Chains A and B, each alone.
Chain A
Amino acid sequence: MRWLNSLTICVALTLLLGIVGLLADLIAPYDPLNTRMFRGLQPPSNVNLMGTDQLGRDVFSWVIYGIRTSLLVGLSSATIAVAIAVLIGLLSGYRGGIIGNTLMRVADVFLSIPRFMLIIVTVVLLSPRISNIILVIAIFSWPEAARVVRSEVLSIKEREYVMAAKALGSRDLDIMVSEILPNVIPTILSLWTLIIADAILTESALGFLGLSDLNYPSLGVMLMMAKNAIFVGGWWVLLFPSIALVILILVFNSLSDKLIERLSPRLG
């Protein structure tokens, strides 16, 4: 993994994945949702680069669209989660007191119930539409991030330059926005990419359990097909979606690591 140890490579891979996601319509040779019963479980060939599943769906097209779905869910839910986390973390870290403590107890409640269980139940209750999946993942991802942001804020607000800003008459809002927030951004970026990776995994897991939006091919759904396919020799149904998933998660996880290393002023 030596070659992954550089921020530029991570960013390049992220961009590449992004392009694949954006241009899925052009890259994928077939409509991934198109089932052809007579061509079920075909091994990889010139016609179907990564073979087909039991229902005759093209695995390559599915993987390409699956990457798009993963990125869509990952980016949107992580962005929402981080936005909530920053707001709550800043407020409760800087202000403390009753508001701060109440917010953190709410986060505790979220953290104390097994997250994945909650996500499954909520998605079932709301019906597995893509917007619901994104929202539910976001709503159950912010507490951890809020905790991290809060602890950063708690330490930064004791720094000398925040004291100095106070002594020279800055308003609380200005201190939060221009003294503290810029110094939390490295952490926020790193959290964001980490939550993207986590959300991608959660989305696939939901797909594997059959909780996916049928208009948005999920890598998890193909893995669910693979569960049966491998017993009749269909290794390609398992292999290719898994590789795609591993790459997605690995790239975003390393991106998170590299970002915190590169951006953190303390390590600079």
Chain B
Amino acid sequence: MIRLKPLLEVRELTVVYKVRDTMKYAVKNVSFTLGEDEVLAIVGESGSGKSTIALSIVGALPENAVVVRGRILFKGVDLLRLRPSERRDINGKEISIIYQDPIAHLNPLRKVRLIFKDLFEDHGVEFNIQKVLELLRKLKVPDPQRVLESYPFQLSGGMAQRVFIALALVLNPKLLIADEPTSALDLTIQAQVVRLLREVRESFRISMIIITHDIGVATSIADRILVMCDGELVEEGSPEEVLLRPKSKYTANLVNSTKTLYEGVMSWVY
């Protein structure tokens, strides 16, 4: 594989959560890089620290979390040492995030058009409705005019996901983070979201980090997969390597369990 120029470099990141008087390590000494236009998936079970990594990158860690060590270099700038105002300039404009439940992440009392307008204004960019419409069309939103005049609750789940992706992409960020984009969705919708993310990757020049616990989703989109267990990075490699030649026992078990489940379901169906 070609070594791409790194856009994001995470070095020895260590994050702890303070729970009353004890410290709990969520991420232990994790390092990885992400090249331009590269899609990286971080796979792990609940509590493995994968979401904490995503939250550290967007700077939305909960108040009881402390980054004890490490650096997150984005275009050579350490995100962890930025002032809040500089941080805000980067969020949404350079680094964006999408979530699994888009409707809950849209203010229920504001029309979609106003949500877009807020985003432009927050970044001091003049509101360009044509650009929004074009992007919505590109993301295959039918009747984007009407969607802009709707409230979030009037959108279907798939439509809201597209709107949210448009929101994340409209200011041309370099990096898109998808935090558990498919969890808690049924299989058909899951397939739709995976397809949507593939489309996004094909039509926009953008790097992506996909946080998921589903190794199937990870292998179907990503160029490279990181596997995390208990806050540590246990495996790194291309989808083929991870699926066929896992280096760690944990990954092997993870792949096997998915296989057994899949085979189990199949034998039950047929």
Chain A residues within CB distance 8 Å of chain B: 159-161, 163-171, 174, 178-179, 182-183, 265
Residues of B within 8 A of A182 (CB): 107, 109-110
Distance, CA A18 to CA B114, complexed state (A):
35
Q: How far is the CB of A201 from chain B (nearest CB, A)?
A: 33
Residues of B within 8 A of A163 (CB): 60, 105
Judging by beta carbons under 8 Å apart, are B104 and A161 in contact?
yes
**With A160-B99, A163-B60 in contact, do A168 and B167 touch (Cβ < 8 Å)?**
yes
Question: Given A160-B105, A182-B109, 20 other A-B contacts at CB below 8 A?
Answer: A164-B97, A165-B118, A166-B91, A167-B58, A167-B91, A167-B97, A168-B92, A168-B97, A168-B122, A168-B167, A168-B168, A169-B87, A169-B92, A169-B119, A174-B118, A174-B122, A178-B110, A182-B107, A183-B107, A265-B109
Judging by beta carbons under 8 Å apart, are B90 and A169 in contact?
yes
A-B contact pairs, 11 of them (CB 8 A): A161-B104, A161-B108, A164-B106, A164-B164, A166-B60, A167-B59, A167-B91, A167-B92, A169-B122, A178-B118, A182-B109
Distance, CA A153 to CA B114, complexed state (A):
21
Residues of A within 8 A of B167 (CB): 168
Residues of A within 8 A of B48 (CB): none
Interface presence of B24 (CB below 8 A): no
Distance, CA A169 to CA B120, complexed state (A):
10
Judging by beta carbons under 8 Å apart, are A170 and B88 in contact?
yes
**With A161-B104, A182-B107 in contact, do A170 and B118 touch (Cβ < 8 Å)?**
yes
Residues of A within 8 A of B110 (CB): 178, 182
Chain B residue with the shortest CB-CB distance to A177: B118
Interface presence of B232 (CB below 8 A): no
Distance, CA A143 to CA B90, complexed state (A):
39
Chain A residue with the shortest CB-CB distance to B108: A265
- Count contacts on B: residues with CB < 8 A to the other chain: 30
Nearest 9 CB-CB pairs, A to B? Answer: A169-B91, A168-B92, A169-B92, A164-B105, A160-B104, A182-B109, A169-B88, A160-B105, A161-B107
Distance, CA A171 to CA B88, complexed state (A):
7
Q: How far is the CB of A222 from chain B (nearest CB, A)?
A: 44
Chain B residue with the shortest CB-CB distance to A186: B109
Most interface-central of A166, A174, A182 (chain B CB within 10 A) = A166
Q: How far is the CB of A65 from chain B (nearest CB, A)?
A: 40
Most interface-central of A169, A170, A178, A183 (chain B CB within 10 A) = A169
Distance, CA A136 to CA B15, complexed state (A):
51
Chain B residue with the shortest CB-CB distance to A266: B108
Chain B residue with the shortest CB-CB distance to A178: B118
Chain A residue with the shortest CB-CB distance to B98: A164
Residues of B within 8 A of A166 (CB): 60, 91
**B60 contacts which of A167, A178, A183 (Cβ < 8 Å)?**
A167
Interface string of B139-173 (1 = CB under 8 A from A): 00000000000000000000000001001100000
Distance, CA A14 to CA B94, complexed state (A):
52
Judging by beta carbons under 8 Å apart, are B107 and A169 in contact?
no
Residues of A within 8 A of B91 (CB): 166-169
**With A160-B99, A164-B105, A178-B110 in contact, do A170 and B58 touch (Cβ < 8 Å)?**
no
**A170 contacts which of B97, B108, B122 (Cβ < 8 Å)?**
B122
Residues of B within 8 A of A265 (CB): 108-109
Residues of B within 8 A of A183 (CB): 107-109
Judging by beta carbons under 8 Å apart, are A168 and B107 in contact?
no
Chain B residue with the shortest CB-CB distance to A170: B122
Interface presence of B96 (CB below 8 A): yes
Interface presence of B213 (CB below 8 A): no
**With A167-B58, A168-B168 in contact, do A161 and B88 touch (Cβ < 8 Å)?**
no
Residues of A within 8 A of B107 (CB): 161, 165, 178-179, 182-183
Distance, CA A164 to CA B2, complexed state (A):
34
Interface string of B13-37 (1 = CB under 8 A from A): 0000000000000000000000000
Interface presence of B101 (CB below 8 A): yes
Residues of B within 8 A of A179 (CB): 107
Judging by beta carbons under 8 Å apart, are B105 and A161 in contact?
yes
Distance, CA A182 to CA B114, complexed state (A):
13
Interface presence of B89 (CB below 8 A): yes
Residues of A within 8 A of B101 (CB): 160
Interface presence of B123 (CB below 8 A): yes
Most interface-central of A161, A166, A178 (chain B CB within 10 A) = A161
Distance, CA A163 to CA B99, complexed state (A):
11
Q: How far is the CB of B84 from chain A (nearest CB, A)?
A: 9
Residues of A within 8 A of B123 (CB): 169
Most interface-central of A159, A165, A171, A183 (chain B CB within 10 A) = A165
Q: How far is the CB of A48 from chain B (nearest CB, A)?
A: 52
Q: How far is the CB of B103 from chain A (nearest CB, A)?
A: 9
Distance, CA A265 to CA B108, complexed state (A):
8
Q: How far is the CB of A267 from chain B (nearest CB, A)?
A: 13
Residues of B within 8 A of A174 (CB): 118, 121-122
Residues of A within 8 A of B88 (CB): 169-171
**With A160-B101, A166-B60 in contact, do A171 and B108 touch (Cβ < 8 Å)?**
no
